[in-house]
Structure 1
Amino acid sequence: MADNIKTTINKNDRRLPWNERLSYGASDFACSFTFSLIGTYLMYFYTDVFGITAAAVGTLMLVARVIDALDGPFWGIMIDHTHTKWGRSRPYLLWFNAPFTIFTILCFTTPDLPMTWKIVWAYVTYIGIDVLYSAVNIPLTSILPSMTTNSNERVLLSTIRSLFSNFGGTLISVIALPLVTLFGGPNNPRQGFFWVAVMAASVFFVIYLVVFFNLREHVQTRQSKKALPIKTSLKALKNNWPWVIVVGLNFIYWLGMQTKGQVTLYFFKYNLDRPGLASLALFFNAVGLISVFLTPKVVTEFGKKKTILFGLGLSIAGQLILGVGAQFLNITTVIIGTIVGNFGNGFVGALIAVLLADSVDYGEWKNGVRAEGIVTSASSFTAKFGMGIGGAITGLFLSLGHYMPNKTQTPAALFSIEANYVWVPLVALVISFILILFYRLTPEKETEMTRYINAKHAREDLEDSI
């Protein structure tokens, strides 16, 4: 009996083959390659290409966040209720691949409509892509605790995922505008954005098929082999303080990142009068690849909490430098601030999914319920909710500053752009830093939890086999 228990523990705690590791990373390359196109360029596309007012776009993003308050938990509950031969999370990578691909293209499709129907079109397509992104992205986080219980392996998997995600987001950010000009010419950005969306969506579709066929859910527990009632799933959240802190971090951090990312083009075009440098600034997102690559070693040396605090500290310093550059319109200082901030962001992005996976274990250890779907659905939900509120803040600020597309901007409009690019993200980063100070899940407690959970799963497997 002891040998059988030991075998199960080793199976759940094992290292994964490289085809699974790389496929897990490729999944977020695909997500970032498409959704960064939306997050970075869609507001600019709506205001300066499709012709919708900034106020209408801000309202759209706020309404979409209200819907997110329902769709995030909905997908988490659906995952916990799913029981197939492929597992709980993995089927969603197949089922919603094509719908997400189609809506990515529709978001950048510009039918010739009156203004009211343009706004309706934007509502349908943006909310559609938002809901479908949850359907394809939440399973990536919920599947992580089901792939392995090995803490070091989870850090490695999340690091690989963040490397691929950072690369995918940086790549599309840098090549999008040149491709828009290539596909549409200098005077037809509508056509250019459409074909860029077709290209990005096609990349996503192919990669997600590969990811579906390669990933596996190795950690099969008594609870994961059956559908969990909602009431049972929610028990995993009771007194789950690591989860509460990570959810708060995810919301406020991505709110700040979204306000900054979606006004990058505005800032370089109007504040610095150097629109050609926007792609260069977005290229420096790749600096985060270095810190992501260093994350496993830094975590081994200092632990997850100190690593993420270090990353947030660097991000705050980067924003302060960026603020100086914005005040004096000094491009060199702006670039230095961008590099420092992106280096810090790499550590943060690499560890958020790991902390969420740990909170799944904490919920099982604390409450006896392993509910990957409802616990990790908070990742996509709170990130998207934060990004949406960030989008609404951007729209509100631009509207209050009386921003007018493709015109010389007033001082009020320029300040509204600067506030979104520098000061709102800075406040969000400071709040994120304070939140992590209260994170109390120590390496010693993680080891205790892992031993308990692996032994529990092994006993259940043995009992079920008798």
Structure 2
Amino acid sequence: MISVKEKVAYGLGDTASNFVFQTVMLFLTFYYTDVVGLNPATVGSLFLLVRLIDAVTDPLMGALADKTRTRWGAYRPYLLWMAIPFAVISVLAFTTPDTSYNGKLAYAIGSYVLLMLMYTAINIPYSALGGVITANPLERVSVQSYRFVFAMLGGLLVSVCTLPMVSWFGDGNDAKGYQHTMMLMGFLGMILFLICFAGTKERVTPSPDSPWPVREQLNAVWQNDQCRILCLISVILLTGIVLRHALAIYYVKYVMQRPDDVTLFVSLAMVGGILGSALAYPLARRTDKVTLYKVLQLGCAGVCVINFLLPAGQWYAALCLHFVWGFLLQMTSPLLWAKMGDVADYGEVKTGKRLTAITFSTIVFFIKLGIALGSAMAGWLLAFYGYQANVMDERVSNGITLSFCLLPAAMSLLVVLVMRWYKLDNQKVNEAHQALNQNRQQLNGTV
């Protein structure tokens, strides 16, 4: 059994990650369009462009982490090495140069590329760490539940504090406000990554022989049919999630016409997410993880459809529905990340090689592709509807409502459809776990 103290330490690493991840999901589109002044369609294309770079860097980072051998382990050292650079780049990404439109665009591209590279360098090893803290499938759900409780606490801090801090630090200058806000968040994130490094331990050791070349590792991962399905699920799911998150601020400001209540709206979803993450483990102990995941995704879709059907001006009903959506959605997150460890086990049974980081990095790439598609779609759709900052327009308002509600619902339903081909239910996972235990005991000469 993993101690609560270690689970908390691991979870604090995702609190640190979410200081950037949630800020990007909730505010970066708005920051680029309404603070920097970039065209929404250009912003959408920017988000997608960077994912092409991730297609190369994510698996390379995973392969590098799998090859790393230090006295601290394979994955933990990156939390130590990358904590300070991660904090610095986070600030640079939310710094607005006083230059021409093209200069601002070039700076946005360069700084966002650096931010995502740094996110890859620290988050791929951090994610893989969750697969080697314990080999117990149920304990992995517990570890991931702690992770996402603390991830959502980080998201809650971002949603509650960002706009007030921007206002306070900026004193009328939002560009300065965002920069100083990220200075504080970056510093806190650095401290939390160091706590995560100090408070965790790697228990599932890599294969004792030399790792395969990167091409062979990628081929082995891609031959893992369950990994491919999880990749597809990840890109679909995150596209819908990020689209809704990115449009939330526009939905409140332009559809509900309550610009002063943006913080309340996004924060309630985070509170729901914390509660949902905490309940994932006890529910997973009582039912099959795959079945539970499908039911929760159907619930998310239903909430979004009801949100779309709300009569105009039903503010409190919209608040409640966004809370419930966050609750159901984040209950699925620990289950998804626990599945990554299960998929790595399944791959080890098939190949005899433990490829934790490159398995996680492959799936994380598709998660980030979904983030990019969701963010890009938000920008493209705003441009399609004719969005202009601070201009109220019925066509724009209707378009935002449709995109905020129905498209995420469609993505959740598509996830449920794809889950038909995912076969690692509780029984199959336990069988794989038993086979691995037997193989390891034989290698150690205990059988």
What's the TM-score, normalizing by structure 2?
0.95
What CA deviation, in whole Å up to 9, does each residue of 1:342-383 have, x standing for no partner?
A: 121022112111000000000011222210121111232111
Q: What letter matches 1:213 in structure 2?
A: A
**Aligned-pair distance for 1:116?**
0.4
Give the match for residue 122 of structure 2: 136
Is 1:200 the equivalent of 2:194? Answer: no
Aligned partners of 2:11 and 2:147 also within 8 Å: yes
Task: Summarize the Cα distance change of 1:461–1:231 in structure 2 as closer, same or farther, 3 Å threshold.
Answer: farther
What CA deviation, in whole Å up to 9, does each residue of 1:433-459 have, x standing for no partner?
A: 112232211222222211111121222
The alignment partner of 1:462 has SS state of: coil
Which of 419, 425, 437 pairs up with 1:442?
425
Aligned partners of 2:244 and 2:408 also within 8 Å: yes
**Aligned-pair distance for 1:222?**
3.2
What CA deviation, in whole Å up to 9, does each residue of 1:373-397 have, x standing for no partner?
A: 2111123211111110111111111
User: Following the alignment from structure 2 to structure 1, what is the Cα–Cα distance between the partners of residues 78 and 7?
Assistant: 19
**Aligned-pair distance for 1:51?**
1.2
User: Following the alignment from structure 1 to structure 2, what is the Cα–Cα distance between the partners of residues 222 and 316?
Assistant: 41
Aligned partners of 2:156 and 2:267 also within 8 Å: yes
Q: What letter matches 1:306 in structure 2?
A: T
User: Following the alignment from structure 2 to structure 1, what is the Cα–Cα distance between the partners of residues 222 and 35?
Assistant: 47
Aligned partners of 1:314 and 1:340 also within 8 Å: no
Which of 24, 30, 38 pairs up with 1:38?
24
Q: After TM superposition, where is structure 1 displaced by more than 4 Å over at least 4 residues in a row?
A: none
**Aligned-pair distance for 1:231?**
4.2
Aligned partners of 1:322 and 1:422 also within 8 Å: yes
The alignment partner of 1:273 has SS state of: coil
Give the match for residue 455 of structure 1: 438
Q: Matched residue pairs, number?
A: 445
**Aligned-pair distance for 1:56?**
1.6
Is 1:172 the equivalent of 2:181? Answer: no
The alignment partner of 2:221 has SS state of: coil
Is 1:18 the equivalent of 2:13? Answer: no
**1:365-404, aligned counterparts within 5 Å?**
365-404=349-388
What CA deviation, in whole Å up to 9, does each residue of 1:73-111 have, x standing for no partner?
A: 121121122222222211211222222111110111111
Task: Summarize the Cα distance change of 1:231–1:107 in structure 2 as closer, same or farther, 3 Å threshold.
Answer: closer
**1:87-236, aligned counterparts within 5 Å?**
87-185=73-171, 187-223=172-208, 226-236=210-220
Which of 248, 257, 272 pairs up with 1:264?
248
Is 1:425 the equivalent of 2:408? Answer: yes
Q: What letter matches 1:334 in structure 2?
A: A
Is 1:283 the equivalent of 2:282? Answer: no
**Aligned-pair distance for 1:173?**
0.9
Task: Summarize the Cα distance change of 1:74–1:412 in structure 2 as closer, same or farther, 3 Å threshold.
Answer: farther
The alignment partner of 1:143 has SS state of: helix
Give the match for residue 10 of structure 1: none
Which of 14, 32, 38 pairs up with 1:28?
14
**Aligned-pair distance for 1:235?**
5.0
What's the TM-score, normalizing by structure 1?
0.92
User: Following the alignment from structure 1 to structure 2, what is the Cα–Cα distance between the partners of residues 259 and 442?
Assistant: 29
Task: Summarize the Cα distance change of 1:238–1:253 in structure 2 as closer, same or farther, 3 Å threshold.
Answer: closer
The range that moved more, 201-210 or 280-289, is: 280-289
Unaligned runs of 5+ in 2: none
The alignment partner of 1:222 has SS state of: coil
Aligned partners of 1:235 and 1:367 also within 8 Å: no
The range that moved more, 122-131 or 67-76, is: 67-76
The range that moved more, 435-444 or 312-321, is: 435-444
User: Following the alignment from structure 1 to structure 2, what is the Cα–Cα distance between the partners of residues 359 and 85?
Assistant: 27
**Aligned-pair distance for 1:278?**
1.4
* RMSD value, Cα: 1.7
Aligned partners of 1:317 and 1:341 also within 8 Å: no
User: Following the alignment from structure 2 to structure 1, what is the Cα–Cα distance between the partners of residues 216 and 323?
Assistant: 45
**Aligned-pair distance for 1:238?**
5.1
**Aligned-pair distance for 1:242?**
2.1
User: Following the alignment from structure 1 to structure 2, what is the Cα–Cα distance between the partners of residues 34 and 191?
Assistant: 17
The range that moved more, 82-91 or 101-110, is: 82-91
What CA deviation, in whole Å up to 9, does each residue of 1:283-308 have, x standing for no partner?
A: 11211222221211211111111111
Q: What letter matches 2:264 in structure 1?
A: L
User: Following the alignment from structure 2 to structure 1, what is the Cα–Cα distance between the partners of residues 330 and 375?
Assistant: 22
The range that moved more, 45-54 or 17-26, is: 17-26
The alignment partner of 2:422 has SS state of: coil
Give the match for residue 4 of structure 1: none
Is 1:333 the equivalent of 2:317? Answer: yes
Give the match for residue 59 of structure 2: 73
**Aligned-pair distance for 1:155?**
0.9
Aligned partners of 2:305 and 2:409 also within 8 Å: yes
**Aligned-pair distance for 1:237?**
2.2
The range that moved more, 155-164 or 389-398, is: 389-398
User: Following the alignment from structure 2 to structure 1, what is the Cα–Cα distance between the partners of residues 205 and 443?
Assistant: 10
